[in-house]
Homo-oligomer: A and B are copies of this chain.
């Protein structure tokens, strides 16, 4: 499901950080759900992009970007997202940390060649 780099607009906007330790359960169901949640999030009002990486030990960080707090709240209340999220949080993670933050500044660089 990796989408590489998000293409976000100039700040201000919002980021939700999700740091997590996967357990070993339901590898296929988890992968399907992650792909589905990414596709579904991408259609939500205010969604600006997502970046996600997980290492071979199951430790991962996902960043999702949103236009404002209202779009984060609407996504949190989305029925299908709620159902999958509640199942997933009970079944798939040993530990997770969620943070909601307002992006104030951003900068980037790509190599020239």
Contact = CB atoms under 8 A, between A and B. Distances in A.
Interface residue tally on A, bucketed by range: 35 or more
Interface in A1-22: 2, 4-6, 8, 11, 14-15, 17, 19, 21
A104 B106 contact: no
A108 interface: yes
A23 interface: yes
A21 to B, nearest CB: 8
A111 B99 contact: no
Chief secondary structure at chain A's binding surface: strand
28 contacts: A2-B55, A2-B59, A5-B97, A6-B97, A14-B101, A15-B99, A15-B101, A17-B63, A19-B63, A53-B55, A53-B59, A53-B60, A53-B61, A89-B109, A93-B111, A94-B110, A94-B111, A95-B108, A95-B109, A95-B111, A96-B108, A96-B109, A97-B108, A99-B103, A100-B104, A100-B105, A100-B106, A102-B104
